[in-house]
Chains A and B, each alone.
Chain A
Amino acid sequence: MVVNQWTESHSRLNTFVPGSFPLIFNEHQYQTGPRIEIGNINMITNADAGAVVSWQVVKQCYVEIQTDPNCPQGGENHLTTTAAGAMAGDVVVDPIVPNQFSPLNPFLQLADGSFVGTFNSPNGSAMVAFDAFGSVRWTLPSYTPQMATADGGIIASIADFFDPGSGTYIPGPASTFDASGAATGQLPIFPSQSWTGNGYQPGSVEQVAFSPIDLVTTFFAQAGGNASANGTAIRPITQDVRALIAKIAKNYVGSQNWLDSPYNKCNLFVHDVLKQAGTDPPLSDKWGVRRAIKYLEGEVDTFHYPALAGDWANPKATMTSWQLVSVPQDANKGSRPPDYSIPGDVIAEAIQYSDATGHVGIIASVGHTISADSAVPCYAPPAPAGTITDSDYGFRPDGWVDPFTFFNPATQQVQPCRTHGYEKNAVVKRFYGQ
């Protein structure tokens, strides 16, 4: 790659000091044209598309006698992209502020493929968002980007500071920013992260040990990237896993593998789909002798029962890698968790049945819940109870009345087939990695 061309000559002249004994040398160096130095190389990789490398070329005119009065002292900040092992492009990025002494240093990759990083100047370090062509979108002094979130936002922190009281360095507060760099809030503690297994294999994913942080599906969603610690950049795959859950569930519509007899199995359907998607489905605290015997015989794979509908519908239940979906504080009045659901979420309702704790299903898309449906013999006969259906369970507005009815001899009245599944009673949980 030829970025620019210079000519430099460098010579050394040694002269004797007249009359000195022993002889004393004087050394004089001469330079024509700048000396070139390359440094400040920063790179983040993108396992699909290659890498983005930021680097700096500095033209130094520092020898004693510069013979070229117009020696072009200064430097150039470069942003080079590679693809398929070759250079795909290189741009010279103009300084953002006067006397900027570092190139753009990419830390994170955002959902649209652009980057967030830092640069240094006499005024200190600043956070900067830019694209692969070096076009700067915004800057924010003092912050260092840490995580890119799926909504286009960023979690960033201020540098650690020294606390004279404790004599230790205290981590700087972490704040959240939207895609335009506007601050949206603060985090009480900085999210801790850990990773297990092969990052490319669904079900073996990274963990963010903090209430829901949805990492963007790019390589280098975290500062420092390379979450797998195996030398290869990986991509957070929680979104892929969610999409897979929704896809698997949808493919089972019409299946009669989870019929209600001899007992209802809506939670088993959810359990089986989550397992097929490569995750470790959450379990209930409950176990029984029959379950234990089946476990010992190898008929079932867990000692405890799969999480019951009541577990899924319990906002306080610990569901390992599943977190409660809540309504954002700035949401429109009357909004409910199902309004913020995405494909692959699990939706549940606690109901006081004699032989069950409620109902649970998987969201294929907003307004579409895939579940083992016990009401289907009433509204879509002759399908038997427990047939997997695509319904609006959990999304039904207040006042919704099922248009399908049946005559109930117990009440001597025509009644709606379905009387549950209202949005106001729904609890939504989302996979956030394990």
Chain B
Amino acid sequence: MKSESETGQLKGFGLKRLPIFGWLVALGSLIVVLWIFYPLLQDPRCAILLFRSIGEQSILLPANCVQTTQVQTDKMTSYLEHERKKRGLSFRAWITCTPTGQAVKPVFGFVSDSRWLPSYVPNTYQFRRAVIILPYAQPVPEGSPVAAELCLVPWRQYSSQVAGQCGGKFSVWK
């Protein structure tokens, strides 16, 4: 059984150490935040872009296509996953489409949206942190309901990417 004095010491320990622990956590968090967003500190114009990149981006999809996280693994998903991992992106969702009987096939709206910038590797598009990877390398796997993969650029990578160009080519993302 602990004596009163021991209990008092324990309480004193907790009271004294908790603020220090809190400060350390805060300092650590600050360092992490600074590490992630350091590239943007050089360019204040990136603040708005950064703020608008926090939320989800709406993606215009044809009526027969949806976003989902549950799909059967097939050659198409393996191909797209390989492409995603190569680029160091985070998985967000699959875009699947069901066949339509229409003569004119519906197209993805983002292809003609100037805010979706094409990637260096063809048939990949990016709007803020959202990246859509579509098949490009031959032969394209056939017969899969999966048409594309929606990914996210990690914050650190994203801040490096836009730093210095927020008033330039990335101004369309503001």
* Chain A residues within CB distance 8 Å of chain B: 260-264, 286, 288-290, 352-356, 359, 374-375, 377-379, 381-382, 385, 406-412, 417, 419
Question: Residues of B contacting A261 with CB < 8 Å?
Answer: 86-87
Residue pair B111, A410 in contact (C-beta under 8 Å): yes
Query: In this assembly, does B161 line the interface, its C-beta being within 8 Å of a C-beta of chain A?
Result: yes
Q: Which one of B12-20, B44-52, B121-129 is at the interface?
A: B121-129
Task: Find A410's partner among B107, B138, B139 (CB 8 Å cutoff).
Answer: B107
Chain B residues numbered 130-160 whose CB sits less than 8 Å from any CB in chain A: 134-140, 147-148, 160
Which residue of A has the minimal Cβ distance to B97?
A409
The residue of chain A having its C-beta at the shortest distance from the C-beta of B39 within the complex is A288
B residues contacting A by CB (< 8 A) are 35, 38-39, 86-88, 97, 105-108, 110-111, 117-123, 125-126, 134-140, 147-148, 160-161, 163-164, 169
Whole-angstrom CA separation of A344 from B119 in the bound complex: 28
Contact of A407 among B38, B117, B140 (CB under 8 A): B140
* Option from B35, B106, B135 in Cβ contact (under 8 Å) with A412: B106
Q: List 5 A-B contacts (CB under 8 A).
A: A263-B87, A352-B118, A354-B119, A381-B139, A410-B148
A411 touching B108 by the CB < 8 A rule?
yes
16 new A-B contacts at CB < 8 Å, known A262-B87, A355-B120, A406-B123: A260-B120, A288-B160, A289-B35, A353-B119, A354-B117, A354-B161, A355-B126, A377-B138, A385-B137, A406-B140, A408-B123, A410-B108, A410-B134, A410-B147, A412-B105, A412-B107
- On whether A290 and B160 interact (CB within 8 A), knowing A354-B126, A410-B107, A410-B134, the answer reads yes
- Consensus secondary structure, chain A interface: loop
A350 CB to closest chain B CB (Å) equals: 10
Within the complex, what minimum Cβ distance (angstroms) separates A110 from chain B?
46
Distance in Å: Cβ of B131 to nearest Cβ of chain A: 8
* B86 near A262: Cβ-Cβ < 8 Å: yes
Residue in chain B with minimal CB distance to A285 = B164
Q: How far is the CA of A260 from the CA of B85 in the complex (A)?
A: 12
Candidates B35, B38, B39, B135; contact of A409 at CB < 8 Å: B135
Q: Across the interface, which residues of A come within 8 angstroms of B164, CB to CB?
A: 286
- Assess whether A262 is in contact with B120, with CB atoms less than 8 Å apart: no
- A417 and B122 contacting across the interface, CB-CB below 8 Å: yes
Contact between B147 and A381, CB atoms less than 8 A apart: no
Contacts of A355 in B (CB 8 A): 119-120, 126, 161
Whether A377 touches B137, Cβ cut-off 8 Å, given contacts A289-B38, A409-B147, is: yes
Q: Do residues B86 and A375 form an inter-chain contact, with CB atoms below 8 A?
A: no
Q: Closest CB of chain A to B139's CB: distance in Å?
A: 7
Whether A408 pairs with B39 at a CB distance below 8 angstroms is: no
A377 contacts which chain B residues (CB < 8 A)?
136-138
> What is the CA–CA distance of A263 and B120 in the complex, to the nearest angstrom?
9
Q: How far is the CB of B68 from chain A (nearest CB, A)?
A: 16
B151 → chain A, closest Cβ, in Å?
12
Q: Do A410 and B123 form a contact, CB below 8 Å, given A262-B87, A378-B138? A: yes
